[in-house]
Structure 1
């Protein structure tokens, strides 16, 4: 690590910028966007905005939401972030039924396939489990209390994902590691069985996604990171199968009319259940990259670069189990220099994912107009927020600039002088779990 990062690597909390997030219900029933402390949800199936209600007795989110996600069947949704709150929502009514207090800021969240547990990771590198239904071995759950199940030893965990069969949980961190852990039948006793480590990234790992082709029921793991690569893994053995290096293929990306100046860390990767559609968001790319995966040959390749306007840099991607549309959002938490408290996000949708049988390449990926998006203007009004035209133009330009540096600032391992470490120790004010 460069010496000049020792004093300059850590910006103040007030200066941190949290990227906007988007997730789509596994059956395309709803879409959720988080920007700053705001959670915005739209009912796609019913074509109406959703009003959230809180029956948990806990506070609402007051700081940036860093992680959101549905369970495998879409009945449970979780949100968590910098306010050290994990809020659990039942999507049939969109009531928050439980609020759990974490000891540290939360960086990742996932819901188990059976909907009985929510797991979350904190900035200290611990993964915790929350029981939703009956506890281990039929015991009653402990209300509003999480138990630690595994750890990454003081490294910030950036992503948590359950494997397609629900037997494993993958956790990635900013120290280049991916751990595959057997998810225990009794999480309160801890997750002690490590299946494998997927090692190969040379910079922080920012995102994970699983794909389960019909001919390969075990499935595969995809990971993206600060080394400008997306990697394909046999996660059971931890073997690296292939690396798609966007830095090495920058010429191909540029030939499609999009520059990647200002950094090329992978911000997000998402994949359809069968792996037929894989999309990647890059730190400074005005658009997205669609990948082909030849699972029989265990290879990844760039199929298409979908370019967008210069002011649009996606911060998160969303895809349902029925990949008719690829959703993306651009936005960040409040930028202090703008002097506005309004939080703006911009949602885009890509459709038309047809493949040429002769070469398996993606054809006809089309950016939909606002009137063509499912839910149309009503959905966009709910998920995006609004500003006047002049203010919106300035905000979008500032957002695009902030996105290009936010991943680096959030995930790169920071270095501290001895004096600064001692000052931080003296000023720590960790919120303990409520009894």
Structure 2
């Protein structure tokens, strides 16, 4: 009993996540193992129905997202389950079991394939051919697509044209891989590597326009930068040091606050990128000049309350930016209460001056879906401000433990090598074999 309680206490906090339907028909929030969806088109709470025959999520959900056309939704996480939902009926059409915990998901632009990454650096693909949305897909299994050699994959994105899949990892790498015609046979052609970050890459997003339909890649990192890339050659176009430019310093100026970029979100039909930073109480808006291939800060939106440090961002064609803050597995508090949703309007405008002047944090009663939506996505319980600050600190610690590689002295490294479990097993097997076959010489 004591061991179980200690395990519960030491479980890592998981950030609240948000995802928005491309046409803003619905909004989904996950916190811990709880998946909450609100139907904006019908102005009602969605009741999820699992027809896949698999279990519901039993552990923290680490990735949620809608497909490009909004017909599919995927949730996955620490319980090693990948659940694929039809958004027309909100039925789970299949549950795929992963060998390891899942860290990222992506849906191909044609909605025929779902890809997911695990903690061992392998990206898997699930074939959805034959899906009609009304019947479950039985016994769908994942096939290995590509791998990052035992490095945790943090983000997956398909390019706007669907030609490549981009994967980022803990070891500072961004890999651009040609998505094959037969992905179940594996992806063997690497287009490029995007190499410049000096800490783990935490998030990816694509920016595109009528003049640049192939899109440019934007990446965020633990090195406090957002970088702009041309992916065909892996060329770095520009770097925006958001940590420094946001003035994230301690009150006495003695040391820098942790300023990891935790989430990126591009706003449809604009060249704006919304950025969530681990110590910023609000969000930063970057403007990208696609012709000049540069990034610059347009505005910092910080009038959201002292405790609102976003953990996830989402947007739709409606031009609204949806944000959530919160965490699960926070020792001593109820998971269901630790999420809060806010929305920013005024982003889908014709010029940068309008963005700076017209950006507004909506009051709760002006958010699409209003109080009914907030009651579903946040929960009913009012929470003190300090609890959300505590949640932000817990998420910061969890991300650090997960993504920042531990450094060991040479002596400790040798000790760890000698005491590895696989080496112990190998030694035991060798000893047993020697006993069975004694040396007669």
How does the TM-score come out when normalised to structure 1? 0.87
CA distance in 2, matches of 1:61, 1:363: 43
Instruction: Give 2:437's aligned residue.
Output: none
Structure number with bigger Rg: 2
Instruction: Give 1:257's aligned residue.
Output: none
CA distance in 2, matches of 1:132, 1:360: 43
Alignment of 1:258-297 (within 5 A): 262-297=257-292
CA RMSD of aligned residues (A): 2.6
Shift, 1:132, TM fit: 1.1
Shift, 1:15, TM fit: 2.9
**Against the structure 1 CA distance between its residues 219 and 358, is the aligned structure 2 distance closer, same or farther, given a 3 Å change threshold?**
closer
Shift, 1:31, TM fit: 0.4
Instruction: Give 2:142's aligned residue.
Output: 146
**Against the structure 1 CA distance between its residues 324 and 264, is the aligned structure 2 distance closer, same or farther, given a 3 Å change threshold?**
same
1:317–1:329 Cα contact (<8 Å) kept: yes
CA distance in 1, matches of 2:285, 2:16: 21
**Against the structure 1 CA distance between its residues 323 and 279, is the aligned structure 2 distance closer, same or farther, given a 3 Å change threshold?**
farther
Secondary structure at 1:328 match in 2? strand
Tell me which protein shows more helix as a share of its residues.
2
Say whether residues 1:172 and 2:164 are aligned partners: no
Instruction: Give 1:311's aligned residue.
Output: 307
**Against the structure 1 CA distance between its residues 261 and 323, is the aligned structure 2 distance closer, same or farther, given a 3 Å change threshold?**
farther
Instruction: Give 1:97's aligned residue.
Output: 93
Shift, 1:148, TM fit: 0.2
Shift, 1:281, TM fit: 0.2
**Against the structure 1 CA distance between its residues 290 and 339, is the aligned structure 2 distance closer, same or farther, given a 3 Å change threshold?**
closer
CA distance in 2, matches of 1:272, 1:236: 23
Instruction: Give 1:401's aligned residue.
Output: 393
**Which of 389, 406, 425 does residue 414 from structure 1 map onto?**
406
> Which consecutive unaligned segments of at least 5 residues does structure 2 have?
1-6, 132-136, 250-254, 426-441
Q: Return the structure number with greater relative CO, CA threshold 8 A, min gap 6.
A: 1
Shift, 1:406, TM fit: 3.5
Note the alpha carbon deviations across 1:92-138, whole angstroms, 9 max, x for none. Answer: 00000101110000000011111111000000000000111149xxx
**Which of 10, 16, 22 does residue 14 from structure 1 map onto?**
10
Instruction: Give 1:71's aligned residue.
Output: 67
CA distance in 1, matches of 2:93, 2:10: 30
CA distance in 2, matches of 1:103, 1:365: 44
Secondary structure at 1:332 match in 2? strand
CA distance in 1, matches of 2:48, 2:260: 34
**Which of 292, 296, 302 does residue 301 from structure 1 map onto?**
296
Shift, 1:272, TM fit: 2.4
Say whether residues 1:200 and 2:192 are aligned partners: no
Instruction: Give 1:4's aligned residue.
Output: none
**Against the structure 1 CA distance between its residues 21 and 357, is the aligned structure 2 distance closer, same or farther, given a 3 Å change threshold?**
closer
Per mean C-alpha deviation after superposition, the further-off stretch among 279-288 and 415-424 is 415-424
2:119–2:151 Cα contact (<8 Å) kept: yes
Instruction: Give 2:375's aligned residue.
Output: 381
Shift, 1:214, TM fit: 1.3
For these two proteins, the number of residue pairs brought into alignment is 404
Say whether residues 1:351 and 2:328 are aligned partners: no
**Which of 20, 25, 29 does residue 24 from structure 1 map onto?**
20
CA distance in 1, matches of 2:385, 2:424: 40
Shift, 1:247, TM fit: 3.0
CA distance in 1, matches of 2:110, 2:348: 32
Alignment of 1:104-115 (within 5 A): 104-115=100-111
Instruction: Give 2:431's aligned residue.
Output: none
Secondary structure at 1:371 match in 2? helix
CA distance in 1, matches of 2:387, 2:265: 27
Shift, 1:220, TM fit: 0.4
Say whether residues 1:44 and 2:40 are aligned partners: yes
1:334–1:342 Cα contact (<8 Å) kept: no
CA distance in 2, matches of 1:126, 1:325: 34
1:211–1:274 Cα contact (<8 Å) kept: no
Shift, 1:274, TM fit: 3.8
2:18–2:30 Cα contact (<8 Å) kept: yes
**Which of 205, 209, 214 does residue 213 from structure 1 map onto?**
209
Secondary structure at 1:324 match in 2? coil
Shift, 1:395, TM fit: 2.9
How does the TM-score come out when normalised to structure 2? 0.86
**Which of 13, 32, 35 does residue 31 from structure 2 map onto?**
35
> Which consecutive unaligned segments of at least 5 residues does structure 1 have?
1-10, 136-140, 255-259, 429-435
Instruction: Give 2:428's aligned residue.
Output: none
